[in-house]
Every structure is written in C-alpha cells, then in structure tokens.
Structure 1
Amino acid sequence: MTTITRRTALGLAATAGAFLALGSAAHADQLADIKKAGKIRVAVAMGVPLFAFVDGQLKPTGSDVETAKLIAKDLGVQLELIEITNAARVPTIQTRKADILVANLGITAERKKAVDFSVPYATLNIIVAGPDNVEIKDYKDLTGKRIAVTRATVNDQMVTQNSKGAEIVRFEDDATLITAVVSGQVDIVSTQTAVLSAMNEKRSGAKLATKFVQQELNLGIALPQGETELKSWLDGWIKKKVADGELNTVFKKFHNRDLPADLTQRG
C-alpha cells in the first residue's frame, strides 16, 4: 500500500467512524426525540388474551394496551400502537421500529443481550396444561407426547430445553395456538394462564387443566440498548404507578388479580 493510499484509507476510516458516531448520537437520547416528535411508538403483541386483544368494538384493549396509553398520557405525547406478533417483539426493538415494547415480554438473561428492560411492570405464570385424563407432573412426562407452544417465547425455550423426548408443535402467535387447541389439533400446551382461560372459553369439549407451573415471569418494558434517559424515565414511572396503585388497577381489571407487592424490586 502506497503512502497516498494508506492516508486515503485512514481518512475513509476516520470518516466512517465519524458517521458511526453521528448515528450513535442521533439515538443517544430517544426520550428527547419522543418529546420533540410529540409521539411515542409502542409495540404490542396483539392476540394475547387479557394483555392485548380486540374488543367488541374492534378496538385494541387489554392490560398492555392500557399501560401504553398511560405512558403516552404521562409523557404528554400521542400514542402510536404498533401491532406485532410474539416472534417479532425483540427484533422490533433492535431495529428501532418502535420506541418501546409493552408486550408481556419476560425479563431473561438471554434477552438482556439484545435489548434493555425497565423494572418489572407485571407478571405472568408459564404453565403446561392438558386433559384431566392425561398424567403430566413434570417435563419428563412429556416424552412421546405432542405439545404445542407459541414460537420464540419463553415457553418454547423451556419446553425445547427440558423435554427432549417431546414432539413440539410451534405456532406463530397465541391466536393461532388458541385456534389449534380449540379445534382439537393439539390438547397439550405450554402457555400462560391468560391464554389457557381463552382456550377453555372457546373449547367445546373437555377443558384443559394446569398440570404444572413452569415459571413465574417478571415482565419488563423493552427498549433499545443504551437509552439511559428513556430507561430512567420508565423505571421511575413504573415505580410511581405501582406505588399509587394505578398500574395495579389496570392489571386487575383484566387479570382479576393483584400485582405482587415486591414487583419493582424484581428483575
């Protein structure tokens, strides 16, 4: 490489570095960008019973949707709901197609490598359910059985890791999973309690019963990594809304239970 070429290469590298720095700076304070735009884009996973679904007037509702509305209200900005599937939750935040994600996303070590989380704002129980006449006490009892899960969820990960002998049937979202169970395609499922309730409401045959609880998940609001101001605002907002009971009121309205007293100390 000649001296001129080397200098040119160094100059190009410096220019590229400057552009990267500018790109990082452009996303250095998403909270300020949200306030300046007067709008917050909140991703929600629609079709999840109790958390995000369409009501009788064909309007989005559920505890996650109402939480998103509260966030926008207290920020003093308009709300843009971005409706996605469960599988798209983490990628949506990684690619910044939404500012934040309020979509019953469990806080896990693996997900923390890809996105940042607020302190927990809600919880859910992951369960294995099946017919009364099928004995299932733990993962080993799933050997040789067909079990349905929603793709790219903690349910999927846990069944895959712990039930090597099971035949795992994956569906793209909870709505499709519910349809499969209601229609009798599958009758053993790893899901959450809210989804199980929706299945049993629509199922004409024998209801499915919880066989065992796999895990209680703490749910966090996901946001792009490095957005310290936005995370700080969200953490403070959740703590305040839990303390004054407003988040509990929203959650209890749909889930008919209270949030844990130590919720914001978890995660």
Structure 2
Amino acid sequence: MKKKIGLILLTLILAAGLLAGCGQQSTGDEGNAADNGSGKAAARSLEDIKKDGKIRIGVFSDKNPFGYVDANGEVQGYDVYFAKRIAKDLLGSEDAVEFVYVEAASRVEYLQSGKVDITLANFTVTDERKEQVDFALPYMKVALGVVSPESKLITDVSQLKGRTLIVVKGTTAETYFSENHPEINLLKFDEYQEAYDALLDGRGDAFSTDNTEVLAWAINNKGFKVGIESLGATDAIAPAVQKGNTALLNWLNEEIKTLGKEQFFHADYEKTLKPVYGNSADPESLVVEGGEM
C-alpha cells in the first residue's frame, strides 16, 4: 500500500513539473525578450524602449579610446559618447542608457538574444554580419593596422610568414588573416586586454586589429609602433540592431543624419579621440558625418 501511494505521489510531482515547465517563458538577461528555443529572442520595439525609459546599448569595456572603463570605474570613449546622445534624444536623458559590456565575438549574439537593443562596439560592417543583424548608417571608417615591438618592427605582411600574429576572436582581423594569409600562425583571444598582454609578454610577434585602435595603444606604450598603418579595405563602422527591428533602425538612421548637420561626430572625436591621438591622426580619415562615407 505504501509503495502504491509513493508511486502516485511521484507521478503527481512529475506531472506538476511538466506543467510548470510548459508555463515558463525563457527570457533575456533583463526579462524583456522571449527566447524561441534557438538562442534568438524577439527584440524590444521602439515603443517598448520608450515605455521602459531605458535603452540597452552594447559597448566594449577594454577598447580604449572607443569603449573602456576608466580609473574611476566610469565607461568612456567614442562609442560611449554617441550612446549617451542616443539616450538623450530618444528618452530625454543621457542617464537613460544602460551599458552592456560585450566582447568582439559576442556582438551578434547579444543582439539576437535580446540582451541589447543596439550594439555600438566598434562594429565593422561586413557582408557576413549583414545576414545576421541590421546595420544603420556609418559613423566612422577604419582599416586594419599591425603593431609590433620597435626593436623587431613588422612593416610588411610578408615578414609575418611562419611567425605568430595575435588577433581577437570575432574581429575583421581574424577573418582577413584567416582567409588571405594561412602561412601566418594566429594566436587568438576573446578579449582585447588579453591580446595586448600577450603582445607585451612576447607571446606573439605582432597584433592586428583596427588601425585606430593599435595607433592609440602604441602612443601609450613605449617601445611599440604601428609598422603597418592600413591593410585591407577601408570599412564602415556602424550601429547594429536585431535583424527586422525596422522602427529602431529607421530612428537610428534619422538620428545619424540629424547629428551630421551639427557635426556631432567631429565633436565626439575632439572630446574622446584627439586627447589620445594628438596630431598623429587626421579626423577626416576616421570620422563620418550624416552617414555618408
């Protein structure tokens, strides 16, 4: 009799668990986007964001001077300056932005899973990425650069044959060298700080990423120099939203056009990039106004 009662109780517990599971809805980190079981989740609409009073924007936390956390624990940089203006114009206050730190390889996933509404993490537009996310108009242009120790300066890609080049996973540098230079050994890291630490430690002969980034790093790190200042095509950097989030995409495009009329991105450059680059970079080679390359 006891055994029979035990079996009945076990059956009831299992049934309750199944019913509870059917009634749950898997969401993103903030609980606003329902997962459809494939790792993707519905994006928040423009109206959803307005009702919430907060916009979640993905930025880097370790890529100075574009997105980084300063000594006081505050997030700063070129992308951050833009993100705050988006929050102000959309929601009435710079404080209405919630920064979500992303890595290069997670930028697409964070959009697809609804963890962020917009990605501003120095996101280069590529055909492959266009299939996964929707890009707004560009606000910067960039090519690849290579930084190495001055004592063993790399000035041509041919010098890297059979040697080790450091790259960050999910970047255009990884794609470019994987596709065009299989003769070069790639040492890959998830985070920029890990990559720079590897270069400082001598675990690689050079490091490649956006030329704007390596130039800034070399200025602040004695003994290193950008020997290859421009490699590959000149690409566009643009905000991205989840594919199909048309209302938010259209709002962003209009915002970029409007900001171009006041030369906003030149002001952004003066505030966040010029203190780093000084006279070593021409803003006209980097800044894009009004979405026009």
1:107-158 deviations in whole A, cap 9, x for unaligned? Answer: 11000000000000222331123345445423x4422111011111001000
Aligned length: 242
Runs (4+) of structure 1 exceeding 3 A deviation are 26-29, 131-136, 201-204, 258-263
Percent same amino acid at aligned positions? Answer: 28
SS at match of 2:63: coil
TM-score, structure 1 normalization: 0.82
Q: Which runs of 5+ in 1 are unaligned?
A: 1-21
For the pair 1:45 / 2:60, whether they are aligned, the reply is yes
Compute the displacement of 1:71 (Å): 0.3
Equivalent-residue separation in structure 1 for 2:43 and 2:123 (angstroms): 24
1 CA distance for matches of 2:43 and 2:77? 31
Higher RCO (CA < 8 A, seq sep 6+):
1
Matched, 1:93 2:108: no
How far apart are residue 173 of structure 1 and its match?
1.3
**Residue of structure 2 in register with 1:137 after alignment:** 156
Q: Give yes or no for contact 1:183–1:203 (8 Å, CA) kept in 2.
A: no
**Residue in structure 2 matched with residue 58 of structure 1 by the alignment:** 73
Residues 160-197 of structure 1 show CA distances to partners (whole Å, capped at 9, x for unaligned) of 11111111001111111112222332231112234324
Contact 2:54 2:97 in 1 (8 A): yes
Any unmatched runs of 5+ in structure 2? 1-33, 275-282
Aligned 8 A contact 1:119 1:220 in 2: yes
- SS of the equivalent of 2:59 reads strand
What is the 5 A alignment of 1:117-128? 117-128=135-146
1:149, 1:169 within 8 Å by CA — same for their partners in 2?
yes
Bigger-Rg structure (1/2): 2
Q: Which amino acid aligns with 2:128?
A: E
Q: 2:227 maps to what in 1?
A: 210
CA distance in 2, matches of 1:73, 1:32: 16
In the superposition, the TM-score normalised over structure 2's length comes to: 0.75
Contact 1:29 1:229 (8 Å CA) reproduced: no
Contact 1:49 1:194 (8 Å CA) reproduced: no
Q: Which residue of 1 aligns with 2:262?
A: 244
With over 3 angstroms needed to count, the CA separation of the structure-2 counterparts of 1:263 and 1:169, relative to structure 1, is farther
CA distance in 2, matches of 1:23, 1:202: 43
Aligned-pair Cα RMSD in Å? 2.4
Q: What is the CA-CA distance between 1:27 and the residue it aligns to?
A: 4.8
Q: Which residue of 2 aligns with 1:81?
A: 99
| Compared CA separation, residues 28 and 131, structure 1 to 2 (3 A) | closer
